[in-house]
Amino acid sequence: MIRKSEEEIALMREPCRIVKDCLAFVGERICAGMTTKEVDDLVYRFIKGNGAEPSCLGYCGYPASACVSVNEVVVHGIPDDRVLMEGDIVSVDLCAYKNGFHGDGARTFRIGNVSPEKDKLVRVTEQCFFEGIKGLKAGTPLFDIGYQVQKYAELNGFSVIRAYTGHGIGREMHEDPSVPNFGRKGTGVRLQAGMVICVEPMIAAGSWRVKVLDDGWTAVTADGRPAAHYENTLVIREDGVEILTL
């Protein structure tokens, strides 16, 4: 696990600001009738226009600047000609690279009026993030995050995706440790001040099981029910956390 110096954290603020602002930019513009490729184009232009690079583009062969995941797609939806429809929910996950460091974040957007189930799913997924970081500080066992995420999701009748996790971040987009959204309270490594991690609940309306499509990237719920995603990059501090992408 890599602890960052204050100088390195200062360098991370800019790519994380770009991620935060890009997600807000997309959220103001995403609408029915757009294709997921048009959403990706917004992300590419915004990140490049801010003097950064889209970290996802070319990562292990990934062909786009963002993951744009609609309804039953949990993560890693490849942007294409799919048209967004009224009632869809769309998760946009993106990373920016600048100053030698990455920032990472995700939001799930509602397209027009969505069903009560989808609306609740989006709200609960976002709150799962904030439940996960309650009391989080240096010395907290890693799996306390997932314990709190899982508890809140299941209390609301949803399930936690287990196949994908949060992660450390810094000079690499994915660093140790993995940060699962489930776990046993009081277990796992003790987090240390200066660690920078991404906490990213991925919550499903139905089963937590997923399958990956033939493209090798797109992960969908096995039962076809909708899923949502919410992510921020944060710094572990002695007395709490500092969220860099909010």
User: What is the tens place of the pLDDT at every residue in 207-216?
Assistant: 999 999 999 9
* Angstrom distance (rounded) from CA 63 to CA 12: 25
- Please give the structure tokens belonging to residue 137: 């500080």
CATH code, 30 = 3.90.230.10
Q: How many domains does the chain have?
A: 1
Three-state DSSP class for 137? coil
Q: Is residue 126 part of a domain?
A: yes
Q: Is residue 170 part of a domain?
A: yes
Q: Is residue 93 part of a domain?
A: yes
Report the sign of the C-alpha dihedral through residues 110, 56, 104, 74, in that order.
positive
Q: Is residue 1 part of a domain?
A: no
* Angstrom distance (rounded) from CA 231 to CA 202: 9
* Angstrom distance (rounded) from CA 199 to CA 212: 22
pLDDT digits (tens, 9 = 90+) for 96-154: 999 999 999 999 999 999 999 999 999 999 999 999 999 999 999 999 999 999 999 99
Q: Is residue 61 part of a domain?
A: yes
Q: Is residue 98 part of a domain?
A: yes
* Full residue range of the structural domain in which residue 204 is found: 6-243
